[in-house]
Amino acid sequence: MRPKTVRVMGVPIDYGADRRGVDMGPSAIRYAGLHDRLRRIGHAVHDVGNITVPVPESRHPQHERMKYVDEIVKVNRVLARTVERALDDGTFPLVLGGDHSIAMGTVAGLLRRLPRLGVIWFDAHGDFNTEETTPSGNVHGMPVAAMVGLGHPKLRKPFLDRAVDPRKVVYIGVRTLDPQEAVNLKRSGATVFSMHEVDRYGMREVMARTLEIVGRETDGVHCSFDIDAIDPLYAPGSGTPYGGGLTEREAHLALELLAEADILTSFEMVEVNPILDDHNRTGKLAAELIASALGSRII
C-alpha cells in the first residue's frame, strides 16, 4: 500500500447499543499503539481527536423502535462533515468507534465525494434492520439498511438523499440474523459471505470475490470492521459476542489481502468494549488489524 496521510477521528458513542462501554473504544485502540504502528509502515498520522458526544445519562431514548435516534443522527451529521473534510484535504479517513451506528456518518461523508462507493462489512450481524423489523430498537443494528436507502427518514438524514448501491456491499463473517432482517437482506442484492462460505471456500477465495465486486465500477472502497466479526475467543471485548466467528489469523489475512489490492479509501473499526475486555487484548487486536489493512506485514 502506498504511504498515506491517515486522519484519525474518534466517535465515543454507545447510544446505538444495549451495553455501555464502547464509547471508550477509541481510547483503547489508541492506547494499544495505533499511531506508532501506522508510522512504522510509513504513513503520516494526524489525529483530530474525538467528536463530542453527550453521555447517555443526560438523555432519554424517545423512540422505542429507534433508541436515542436524535442524538445518533446529530453525531453522525458531524462525523459526515469531518470525513468529507478529510477527503477534501487528500487524507485517508480512519474512524474509531464507538458502536456501529457511526457507520451512517462515515459513509454519508464518503458518498459526498465518492458517489459510487463499494463497502466491505465485517460483522457477526447484518445491521440491516429498520424500525419495523428490529427486535431491540438498537440503532447499531440499522446502519446498512440506512446507507442503501431503507428505513426511517431520520436515519437517512445524514446521507442527503445519497445511497450506496446494495450490489456494491459485501458482508464477511456473518453468523446471526434476525428473521425479517434476513429476508430483506437477501432481497437487497448485497453479497453475504457468512461463516459458512468462509469455512467452505477459505478466506483467500472470499476476499478474491469481494475485491472483484467492490473494486469494479466504484470510486472508492470503504471497510467497516465490527470487532465481533472475530470469535470472542480472540476478541473478548465486544458488547455483542457471538461464537463461531473469524479467527485472529483469518481476519489478518483478509485485511492483508485488502491492503495488497491497494483500493481502500477509508477504514472504520467499531464496537471495542474495554469494560468487557481482558487487559486491552481486544483493543490491541483492533490496532493490529487496522495496521494490517494499511499495509503492515510480518516481513
Residues 6+ apart with CB under 8 A from 249: none
Quick one: 89 exposed, middle or buried, by C-beta within 10 A (0-12, 13-18, 19+)?
exposed
- Whether the per-residue pLDDT at 61 is higher than 80: the answer is no
Domains of the chain, CATH where assigned: 5-293 (3.40.800.10)
Q: What is the mean pLDDT of residues 90-118?
A: 98
Percent of the chain clearing pLDDT 90 (strictly above):
93
Kindly report, residue by residue over 191-216, the tens digit of the pLDDT: 999 999 999 999 999 999 999 999 99
Catalytic (active-site) positions: 100, 123, 125, 127, 140, 226, 228, 271
Quick one: 160 exposed, middle or buried, by C-beta within 10 A (0-12, 13-18, 19+)?
exposed
- Whether the per-residue pLDDT at 298 is higher than 90: the answer is no
Q: Residue 232 — very low, low, confident or very high, per pLDDT cuts 50/70/90? A: very high
Q: Are 200 and 76 in contact (CB under 8 A)?
A: no
CA distance 110 to 44: 21
CA distance 81 to 284: 28
- Whether the per-residue pLDDT at 60 is higher than 80: the answer is no
Place of cell 472504520: 268
Beta bridge partners of 94: 8, 267
Q: Residue 236 — very low, low, confident or very high, per pLDDT cuts 50/70/90? A: very high
CA distance 254 to 259: 9
Kindly report, residue by residue over 164-173, the tens digit of the pLDDT: 999 999 999 9
